Structure 1
Amino acid sequence: MLKHLLLAAGFLFAFVPGLSAQESADNAPAQQVLTVGTVPAARQEISKSLSFVGRVEAIERVEIVARISGYLEEILFQEGGTVQAGDPLYTIEKGLYEAALQQAQGSVESAKASVVLAEQQRSRTSELLSKEVASQMTMDQRLAAVQSAKGDAATSAANVKTAEINLGYTDIKAPIGGRIGRTSVTKGNVVGPSSGTLTVIVSQDPMYVVFPVSQREFLRTREAGQGANPDKLVVRLQFSDGAYYDQTGKVDFVDVTTDRDTDTITVRAIFPNPKSVLVDGQLVNVELASDKPEEAVMVPQSALLADQSGPYLFVVEDSKAVVKRVKLGGEHGANVVISEGLSGGELVIVEGLQFVRPDMPVNAAPISAADPS
């Protein structure tokens, strides 16, 4: 009897712990599923672009130099202002050049008289020669005198022209229209060809932007422009403060040689400049883009992660966090272009990434693309 009681007690003690463990498992709280913020991978039309550093250059740039010597009498422009072609800029004293012109004109009159006299003497000698009163030698001398007088007359006429030109140089005028710089000399100084540049005029509209492109980037630029045709490229400018110029430009020149020191090719674009926003010598950022947008998949930059194998991100598939290895195609504002790895429409995790592990259950909570991530 005692033996049967001990066996029953042992069976009871063995059964009760089993009941307690099952009861504990049934009463334990269920594991919580992580809620993550997601945005769909969007397919959008974008233009591929490349950035360079360029410098603004005026299409026309003229250094004003005095072509004759003399005292500077007047400065007729406002420094930094706008001038038109033909506007007077400087006046050099005219007295000496007016006198030189009058002297040259007097020489012309004297030469004309010499020609008349030589013609008359030749005519008389011709008559005497016909009567065999004068010799042929005398006739030859008269003919030579006529030619000499005519040569002196031509020289005198040329001297008049030179004097007129020099007198015209006393009024220095703008050869082109544009903005004019400050003057390097003031009224009362003696100026001349050796004085150097008096001031500079630069044209304003349109303007060039010149920038160097490496051989590697040049090939990428051709690809972005759908071939070698520069008309397929749209050029934009960004200033040092981050603002974009409100006019777009076009590539109008690609150099035919490569700089051997830098292995770069010089490219030039032309831009309208109606408000004189672009200034000669200004540094700008140049963006080259194709004129035909291409469809691409984009996700927020905050969704990207990286390890030794490269960039990746998490997407929600079948309520699980799944790793997607991707290849990047460049930045586009706050987003990044995915060239490989996504087809568009996938729910990309952008919030809660610090808690996400591969294949863990997650609950997708869509958020607005404008929300911080």
Structure 2
Amino acid sequence: MRWLVALLLALAQPGYADPLVFEGRIEASERAVLSSRLNGVVAEILFNGGERVSAGQPLIRLDPTDAALALEISEARLAASRARYDGATRRTARQEEMHERGITTDSTLGAARTEMAMVEAELALAEAERRRAVLDLERVVIRAPISGLISPPSVSIGAFLEAEAAPPLATIVAFDPAVAAYRAPYAERLDSLEATGSRTVVELLERIRVRLRLPGDRVYPGEATPHAASAEVDAETGTVTVWAKFPNPDALLRSGMIVTVLSDIHGAEAEQ
């Protein structure tokens, strides 16, 4: 990462005390769309929007009538399949015994075995259908896929949702950690990490410290180390986008916020 080398060299110049300054923007570390995987009518909405939600928290309940009925039907079919399986098992065992005694023919035994295989497949299908029905009944409750701040709901009670065509029901934005994205110059002429005494890019990254200045000149209480950079250099600006994660337990940093990024080198004074 040559821009990192350039940054460290600049910071290592004698008398250099001020950090490099960049304009940055806060981004969500994770974003999820709330959706339904089941057709159904919205019976209850359990959030207003703007509040924090936790992963797995119930947010919307659909009318469970159809899903509950489907489960009852699948259980009845499973019971019938098990009964047929038990009967086929007894008949096949009897034919096996009679065949060993020479009482029945190979074709009769073969037919019994074929019936047994078909009944086994039918039972496996009935068991799978019941598992699917149980899963659908669980999906009547739509839960938060991640923790974060949730937007207002985009549906209302009584709305019919189609799993394949329903619009997003809400958006959840993870707020802790928050990600600061900023553009830094990429020094094309510097190609050696040895200039900073760092043996690897990982070691180089570990030495960079990034702080934030919020609107109103308030310095955010915390610092971070860059964890990623864009793979390509912007042809017009000669910069790469850099990302750094900041702890944000109080959700002070919000997605879209413009911040000033202050970047310096940890322990630089000791090397000067």
1-side partners of 2:236 and 2:119: how far apart?
Answer: 63
1:199 paired to 2:170: yes
What is the aligned partner in structure 2 of residue 251 from structure 1? Answer: 226
**2:20 pairs with one of 44, 50, 55:** 50
Structure 1 position 244, deviation (Å): 2.6
AA of the residue aligned to 1:200: T
What is the aligned partner in structure 2 of residue 232 from structure 1? Answer: 207
2-side partners of 1:122 and 1:181: how far apart?
Answer: 61
Q: Are the structure 2 counterparts of residues 212 and 45 from structure 1 closer, same or farther at C-alpha, using a change threshold of 3 Å?
A: closer
1-side partners of 2:122 and 2:189: how far apart?
Answer: 64
2-side partners of 1:273 and 1:90: how far apart?
Answer: 27
Write the mapping of 1:100-119 to structure 2, written as runs, cut at 5 A.
100-119=70-89
Equivalent position SS for 2:104:
coil
Equivalent position SS for 2:218:
coil
2-side partners of 1:204 and 1:115: how far apart?
Answer: 54
RMSD: 2.8
Structure 1 position 125, deviation (Å): 2.1
Q: Are the structure 2 counterparts of residues 231 and 128 from structure 1 closer, same or farther at C-alpha, using a change threshold of 3 Å?
A: closer
Equivalent position SS for 2:123:
helix
**1:88 pairs with one of 42, 49, 58:** 58
Structure 1 position 112, deviation (Å): 0.7
1-side partners of 2:17 and 2:53: how far apart?
Answer: 40
2-side partners of 1:90 and 1:156: how far apart?
Answer: 30
TM-score using structure 1 length: 0.61
Tell me how many residue pairs correspond in the alignment. 251
What is the aligned partner in structure 2 of residue 177 from structure 1? Answer: 147
Contact kept, 8 Å, 1:236 with 1:287, in 2: the verdict is yes
2-side partners of 1:144 and 1:245: how far apart?
Answer: 73
1-side partners of 2:138 and 2:188: how far apart?
Answer: 52
What is the aligned partner in structure 1 of residue 240 from structure 2? Answer: 265
AA of the residue aligned to 1:269: A
What is the aligned partner in structure 2 of residue 334 from structure 1? Answer: none
AA of the residue aligned to 1:157: E
What is the aligned partner in structure 2 of residue 212 from structure 1? Answer: 183
Structure 1 position 239, deviation (Å): 2.7
Contact kept, 8 Å, 1:225 with 1:289, in 2: the verdict is no
What is the aligned partner in structure 1 of residue 7 from structure 2? Answer: none
Contact kept, 8 Å, 1:48 with 1:293, in 2: the verdict is no
2-side partners of 1:292 and 1:226: how far apart?
Answer: 13
Write the mapping of 1:269-308 to structure 2, written as runs, cut at 5 A.
269-292=244-267, 294=269
1:123 paired to 2:98: no
Q: Which moved more, 1:266-275 or 1:254-263?
A: 254-263
Render the CA deviation track for 1:273-329: whole Å, top value 9, x for unaligned: 12211002222221211223549xxxxxxxxxxxxxxxxxxxxxxxxxxxxxxxxxx
1-side partners of 2:158 and 2:194: how far apart?
Answer: 60
Write the mapping of 1:42-81 to structure 2, written as runs, cut at 5 A.
47-81=17-51
Render the CA deviation track for 1:160-194: whole Å, top value 9, x for unaligned: 00011111111011222221111111111112332
Contact kept, 8 Å, 1:80 with 1:181, in 2: the verdict is yes
2-side partners of 1:173 and 1:134: how far apart?
Answer: 59
Equivalent position SS for 1:196:
coil
Q: Which moved more, 1:45-54 or 1:195-204?
A: 45-54
Equivalent position SS for 1:77:
coil
Contact kept, 8 Å, 1:55 with 1:209, in 2: the verdict is yes
Equivalent position SS for 1:265:
strand
2-side partners of 1:224 and 1:239: how far apart?
Answer: 33
Contact kept, 8 Å, 2:25 with 2:182, in 1: the verdict is yes
Contact kept, 8 Å, 1:224 with 1:290, in 2: the verdict is no
Q: Are the structure 2 counterparts of residues 260 and 136 from structure 1 closer, same or farther at C-alpha, using a change threshold of 3 Å?
A: farther
Structure 1, gaps ≥5 residues long: 1-43, 296-373
1-side partners of 2:68 and 2:236: how far apart?
Answer: 54
Compare the two structures and name the one with the higher strand fraction: 1
Structure 1 position 256, deviation (Å): 4.2
Contact kept, 8 Å, 2:48 with 2:153, in 1: the verdict is no
2-side partners of 1:246 and 1:107: how far apart?
Answer: 61
Equivalent position SS for 2:171:
strand
Q: Which moved more, 1:243-252 or 1:65-74?
A: 243-252
Contact kept, 8 Å, 1:45 with 1:294, in 2: the verdict is no
Render the CA deviation track for 1:30-85: whole Å, top value 9, x for unaligned: xxxxxxxxxxxxxx976342222222122222111111111001110131011122
Contact kept, 8 Å, 1:184 with 1:199, in 2: the verdict is yes
